[in-house]
Structure 1
Amino acid sequence: MSVSLPDGIDTFLEQAGWNGCAIEPLAGDASFRRYFRIRRGESCAMLMDAPPPNENPEPFLRAAKWLDANGMRAPRILAEDAPRGLVLLEDFGLDRMRDYLDDSPADEREVYRTAVEVLVDLHRLPPGPFAEYSMTEYLREVQLLTDWYCPAQNLRVDGPGYVAAWDEVLKPLLPRQCPGVTVLRDYHAENIMLLGKLDQQGLLDFQDALIGHRAYDLVSLLQDARRDVSPELEAEMFDHYLQKSGEPAEDFFADYARLGAQRNAKIVGIFVRLWKRDGKPRYLDMIPRVWALMERDLRHPALAPVAAWFDANIPAELRQAGGGSYAL
């Protein structure tokens, strides 16, 4: 099947000095963005097609330039035409962390230790030029579960009680994210590239960066919706972060559980939305893993109000089945 190329691509590549190159479409992600690998002789680059009005490359460009200027390994910007949604990027190659570990599981511990240390380096920087991860945003995100998952399961739930429970649970962590750190918000094994050596890793998919809590990206990495991380490895890497960062353990584990449950509730809603709204049912297969992670988080005493809401509103048989089945 032929793939349509972005409008204006020939002029863009010619102005960037990449005319006459081969263009190879790559698999898409959960957004409206598309990616192409650009080849000319031995040289390669990545083309991001993020066309308005569904996409806007400006947040990606701002975050990439800030990360690069501060010594973090984001892909360098080679050329840009933001109004058309075209960005030419450094090519990080083929070794995604997730794919590499599928083939080389013996290296899992070393690769995760490096990924944790990248977060420690990021958290030592002053916060970037991003908005605050506010309570409004936290609550908007958790409501993706009641907006999309619950209707898909024909569940009538207590929406106001859900929001009130989350507000009670999340409020204690807000003072501990001030001053905050740059939160990439999607830091996991499919968005980390291995750059030739296990201790050299590149960052992807950071356009939604905010200023928030130190535990958020750690839980994104260790409670991965797309890859199983054993509880033993999660605990070891959690401790590694504390050791390397000097973060006091008091309150941090409770906040990690709070943000784990918040993020996992959001992801369940997003994955159902990707099926219902965007016609991408493959994400439904990941929901049992996410639901199991959320159940673990809900067992922490800090999550008691939210756990009580789930007990009262989501039937046990759905939760035990990893979120239930989804009939098309």
Structure 2
Amino acid sequence: MSLSFRRTIKVADETGTLRLADDIAAITRPGDVIALHGDLGMGKSALARAVVRRLAGDPQLEVPSPTFTLLQSYETARFPVHHFDLYRLADPDELVEIGFSEAVGEGLALIEWPDRAGDELPAERLDIVISEGDDLNGRRFSLEARGGGWAERLEETFAIRALLERAGLADAGRVHVQGDASTRRFERATGSDGTAILMHWPAFGALPVHADGLPYEALVHATDNLDAFLAIGDTLRRHGFRTPRLIAADEPRRLLLTEDLGSLGVAPGGVADPQRYLAAACRLADMAAIAWPDVATADDGRTFALPAYDRRALLTEVELFASWYAPDVAGRPLSTSEAADWLALWNGLLARFDWDRSAWVLKDYHSPNILWQTDGDPIGLIDYQDALRGPAAYDLASLVTDARIDIADDLATAMMEAYCQRRREVAGPFDEAGFREAVVILGAQRNAKILGRFVRYAKLTGRTHHLRFLPRVRRNFEKALDDKVLAGVRLWYERLGLTAQS
């Protein structure tokens, strides 16, 4: 395959090699092939070892040279890595014996002495030619992309390194951080002068039409606008809430480098910490006491008008249950009347929120997006770019029915009591009975949406890791159906036999 990108990187020492390995490892994907060329002693094994350790998240991982075994394989948190050294390969036909083609297709393949693979070497790959540098310990790396999207990825990873340098983190190591179900990708950059979080947020691009000639994202007011993240975050912070500050940006490439709020969550080890969850509930009450503007303003003056969490958006979300989750469980598409009855039930339930635009609804106020802070405000907020103007009850419903963490009934009750008490303290009397009922309705709506969304995501992308949360989400949904306000929804649910079949 013809060359699509070439760039030469000079490094002065082993530290430079490790930094380059970081930049390459950050953009690798399953199925990638990296062919390492160079004379003996040029550092092919050193570069491969650094890439393996970076992907494994263990800088001390033992990574022996596969000179005699030809292949060493490693399981990492992201995907398998297969390190080949073909120096002692007598004939390319021997590659069959070590499972070369299977390994190459399964994960990342790092191949030293790739020329000895002959025609078995994949055409789509990244070639790295290593030669002597300008001094004794220096090296010159010629990176040559041959298809596989390598050219675009290399341009991006070097843009990230340049961004880190502008932010004073030139020596930072980069580690993948688990993100969400969106297209955004996150890394933690750690250097001698501190840490930062790197977010790459691709634009939506072309989206399929969902209804009324609009994509799903438009109907539910999801955004890919960088201004939304910056303006909402800065406005929240000016009102006393903890959000990450912007450190540097490459906006044309949609790269944001932000303050690192750490990795401590409200559910350490996957177990809900009552103290932290109660604090999170109380901070929501504080938020409900604020007269939020319709337009968020960033510290640099840019603005973003928050859409209303209108009935169309709420119905579009809950419709996912009827169009994706229910048919998947029932083993058949719903009839026209069954689907219409579902929407009619929810249309009536959600009409009561038409007037409520008093709060900022963060949309996903739950364990992955709440970072515990050991100084100042204990609640750090992330993933708020899709915030809307709507009912305050939604975010508390999100918190007490966490899709990823089991919330005991007594803790959920305590959070409700703590919220109501704090809200009375900071804002005076309010309609507690109506609020509690709203939490039930919006909690059911949210969990029905999640059930449909996770099934939809799995079927459209083939990625099934989110399906492990379905039993908990279903329990949250069915628990809400015990409330009399959802009696009609419960009857619809039982008529379809979904409880028995789930």
Establish whether TM, by shorter chain, passes 0.5. yes
Residues 56 and 82, structure 1, Cα contact 8 Å, conserved in 2: no
- After superposition, the CA RMSD in angstroms is 2.1
1:2 and 2:25 equivalent? yes
Distance in 2 separating the partners of 1:57 and 1:145: 30
Number of the residue aligned with 1:74: 243
Deviation per CA, 1:57-110: give whole Å up to 9, x if none.
3322221121122211011111223332111110111212222663xx6xx222
Q: 1:314 to 1:168 in 2, by over 3 A?
A: farther
Measure the CA separation in 2 of the matches of 1:164 and 1:314: 19
Equivalent runs, 1:266-277 vs 2, <5 Å: 266-277=449-460
Matched AA of 1:41: S
Structure 2 counterpart of 1:184, from 341, 362, 377: 362
2:356 counterpart of 1:205: no
Aligned to 2:178: 27
Q: Report Cα offsets for 1:32-80 as digits up to 9, x if no partner.
A: 1111111221410110011223554332222112112221101111122
The worse-fitting range, judged by mean Cα deviation, of 26-35 and 11-20 is 11-20
Pick aligned residue for 1:135 from 311, 328, 347:
311
TM-score if structure 1 supplies the norm length?
A: 0.88
- Match of residue 260 from structure 1: 443
Matches within 5 A, 1:90-129: 90-99=259-268, 102=271, 108-128=273-293, 129=295
Consecutive unaligned residues in structure 2, runs of 5 or more: 1-23, 28-152, 206-223, 296-305, 425-429
Match of 1:148 among 314, 317, 324: 324
What's the secondary structure of 1:277's corresponding residue? helix
Unaligned 5+ segments in structure 1 are 322-328
* Structure showing the higher strand proportion among its residues: 2
Q: Match of 1:47? A: 198
Residue 243 of structure 2 aligns with an amino acid whose one-letter code is A
- The equivalences for 1:242-321 within 5 A come to 242-246=420-424, 247-318=430-501, 321=502
Q: What is the rounded CA distance, in whole Å, between the counterparts of 1:309 and 1:244 in structure 2? A: 37
Cα deviations by residue, 1:228-271 (Å, 9 ceiling, x for unpaired): 11111111110111111123322122111110110000010111
Name which one, 1 or 2, has greater alpha-carbon Rg: 2
Aligned match for 2:412, one of 230, 234, 237? 234
CA distance 1:304–1:13, shift in 2 (3 Å): same
What is the identity, as a one-letter code, of the residue corresponding to 1:126? A
1:188–1:220 CA contact under 8 A, matched in 2: yes
SS in 2 for 1:38: strand
Matched, 1:59 2:228: yes
Partner Cα separation in structure 2 for residue 280 and residue 42 of structure 1: 37
Post-superposition shift, 1:313?
Answer: 2.7
The aligned amino acid for 1:12 is: L
For 1:324, the equivalent position in structure 2 comes to: none
Q: Does 1:225 align with 2:403?
A: yes
Kept after mapping to 2: 8 A contact 1:216/1:256? yes
Q: Give the Cα–Cα distance (whole angstroms) in 2 for the partners of residues 254 and 202 of structure 1.
A: 28
Distance in 1 between residues matched to 2:309 and 2:409, nearest whole Å:
27
Judge conservation of contact 1:242–1:248 (CA < 8 Å) in 2: no
Q: 2:348 aligns with which of 164, 168, 182?
A: 168
The answer to whether the 8 Å contact 2:250/2:256 transfers is yes
Report the identity percentage: 33
Q: Deviations over 1:107-127 (max 9, x none)?
A: x22212211111112112222
User: Does the 8 Å CA contact 1:111/1:198 hold for their aligned counterparts?
Assistant: no
Report the counterpart of residue 195 of structure 1 in structure 2. Answer: 373
Q: Deviations over 1:200-220 (max 9, x none)?
A: 120111111011111111011
Instruction: Give yes or no for contact 2:264–2:371 (8 Å, CA) kept in 1.
Output: yes
Amino acid at match of 1:279: G
